Structure 1
Amino acid sequence: MTLSLFDQFMSPVFLGVPLIALALTLPWTLFPTPSTRWLNSRLLALQGWFLNRFTQQLLLPINLGGHKWALLFASLMLYIISLNMLGLLPYTFTPTTQLSLNLGLAVPLWLATVIIGMRNQPTVALGHLLPEGTPTPLIPVLIIIETISLFIRPLALGVRLTANLTAGHLLIQLIATAAFILLPMMPTVAILTLVLMFLLTLLEIAVAMIQAYVFVLLLSLYLQENV
C-alpha cells in the first residue's frame, strides 16, 4: 500500500539514477523504421496514412510559411501519444504527469512562434495585444490583459496536459483500491467496480490521445497567428 496517492507520479530511481530519462527515450524504439522495399507492411502503411491525414488537417488553415513545422508537429504528436499510452501499462511511469516536462515542451515551442511573429510581421504580432476599435481609456488596461494572456499560454499548455493525465490516473488508482477492499466483503459490488474501472481505462486511453492532439493543435493555432 502506498503512503500517498501521489507516490505513483514520482520518478522511479534505480541506483540513484532517475529513470525518467529512459522513459523519455523509450517511444523512439517502438516505431518501425521505413524499409527499402517498394511495398511497405500494413503497419507502416497505416502509420503513414495516419501521419498524412493528421498533418493535412492540422496545417490546412496555416499559411505556407508555417508548413515547415509539419515534421515537428507530427513527431511531437506521436511522441506525446506514446508517453501517455505507455504510462497506462502496469509498473510503468508517465513522464507527462510531470509539470516540468510539459513546460519544457510548451515554453520553447510557444516562444518560437512568438519570435517568428516578431521577426516576420512585428506590426501584426503586436497588433494582437490591442483589439481594433478599443476606446482610448481602455487601451492601457487591455494591453496589460492581452500581454498577461500571451504569457499564460505556455503555462496553460503544460497545466492542461498534466492535470488531465493526473486526474485520470488518480481516479483509476482510487477505483482499483476500492475494488481491492470490497472484494472479500461484497464481491458483487467489487465486480461492478472493476467494470467501472475498465470503462474508465478506456476513457483514459481516449484522453491520452486527445490531449496529445490538443497540445499540438493549440501550438498550431499559436503559429497561425504569427505566420
Structure 2
Amino acid sequence: MVAVVTAAAQDQWRLLDVQAHDIRLTQIAHRQRSLPELAKIAELEKKRQGIDDELVVARTALTDAARELTKAEADVEQVRQRAARNQARLDAGQGSAKDLQAIQHELENLANRQSVLEDAELEVMERQEAAQASVEEATTRREAVSAEIAEAAAARDKQLETLSGEAEGEKRDRETAAGGIPKELLALYERIRENSNGVGAARLYQRRCEGCQLTLPPNDLNRIRAAAENQVLRCEECSRILVRTAESGL
C-alpha cells in the first residue's frame, strides 16, 4: 500500500458516509431512468403512432371517396336532366315520328346509363361510409390510448417528484458529510470515483476490500498494519481509497 495523502482517521471514516450518499444518489438516478411508467409511455406512444398512420390512410380514403361521390352525383344528375328534357319532348309530341322514336331509344339508353351510374354512386357511398367508420373507430382508439398516456405520465411525474425530493435530501446530507473533509482527500476521492464506477472509497472489512470484494493477501495486510493511522491507503487491486475501521480484521 502506498500513502497518497494524509488525513485524520475520522476524516477517512467520513468518506464512507459521503460514499454511501453518492451510492444512494446513483440508485435514485437509476430509478428515475428506469421507471416502469417510462417504458409504458414509450410503448403507448408507439401504439398511438400506429393509429395515427391508420388515420392518415382512412382519412385519405374518406377524402378520395368524397371527391368520387361528388363526381358520381354530378354524372347521375346530368343523365337525369337529359332524360327529363327528352321525356318532356316526348310527352309534348314534338318532332316527327322518327324523331320521337329516336328520343324513346335515347331515353332507354339514358335509363340504362343512369342505372349503371347509380350503382357506381352507391358503391362509392359504401366506401365512403366504411372510410368514415374507420376514421371514427381509429379516433376512438387514439383517444383511449392518449388517455392511458396521460394517466401514465401523471404517475411518472408523481414518482419523479418523489425521487427528486429524495435526491435533494441526499445531496444536502452529502454536503454536510463532506463539509469537514480536507479538500485534498475529497478531491482524490472524486477523481477515483469518476473512474471506478461511482465508488471512490471502500471499507476494509474482515481483510476484504468492499470496493472490489477481494480478500487482501498477507503482504498487503502487513503493509496496512505498519501504516500510520493518518495515511490514506489505496487498494492494490481496484485503486480505491481503503478505509480502515475496527472491523478491518487486522
What TM-score do the two structures reach when normalised by structure 1?
Answer: 0.25
- What is the TM-score with the length of structure 2 in the denominator? 0.23
Q: Which has the higher contact order (CA 8 A, sep 6+)?
A: 2
Greater strand share, 1 or 2? Answer: 2
Structure with max Cα Rg: 2
